[in-house]
Amino acid sequence: MNLKSILTLLLVIFILSACATREYRYTAFDKNISNADQYKSLIIRSRDYWEFFSQKNFDESYKFELPYQNYKHDLQWYKSFHAQNRKNYKITLIKILSLGDDIIELHLRFNQKDKSYVFTDKWIEVNKQWYHKYNDSLIPNFDY
């Protein structure tokens, strides 16, 4: 086996291992949602958000949060607030519900080996960009 073959083999192993990790991290979205086409940009944004958030990459997920929430809480606060979160779970999009032209509620399923539940996520379009609203209080919020 020459050097070129060894390098090619190493590259293939590297790509495969990356894919394997990627699959573990992958946040799956159900493709059978009727109004999915209408909200393509939102779905992509939500997928990217959860990709970062589920990996506790809060530096990146912070950029998706509503601007006024980021004005209220800086990144440091955001990181410490979410520090205890779980990691490496899957999120599946179940339903897209419009609460108005620019406010959407996504119904999502949280999946991990020992736990699975459905929750809602609010997204608001501000100047042609979708932003995520996070719950910044440990006390239940009823105006959601």
**Min dist. Cβ of residue 4 to another protein (A):** 52
User: Does residue 142 touch another protein according to CB under 8 A?
Assistant: no
User: Does residue 133 touch another protein according to CB under 8 A?
Assistant: yes
Closest CA to 28 of 87, 85, 96, 94: 94
Q: Which region, judged by CB under 8 A, interacts with another protein, from 3-11, 21-29, 45-53, 67-75?
A: 67-75
User: Does residue 124 touch another protein according to CB under 8 A?
Assistant: yes
User: Does residue 102 touch another protein according to CB under 8 A?
Assistant: yes
Residue from 127, 139, 140, 142 touching another protein (CB under 8 A): that is: 127
**Min dist. Cβ of residue 64 to another protein (A):** 12
Closest CA to 68 of 133, 122, 130, 121: 133
**Contact at 8 Å (CB) between 99 and 121?**
no
User: Does residue 126 touch another protein according to CB under 8 A?
Assistant: yes
User: Does residue 131 touch another protein according to CB under 8 A?
Assistant: yes
Residues 6+ positions from 49 with CB-CB distance below 8 Å: 61, 64, 132
Binding residues vs another protein (CB under 8 A): 66-72, 74, 102-103, 122, 124-127, 131, 133, 143
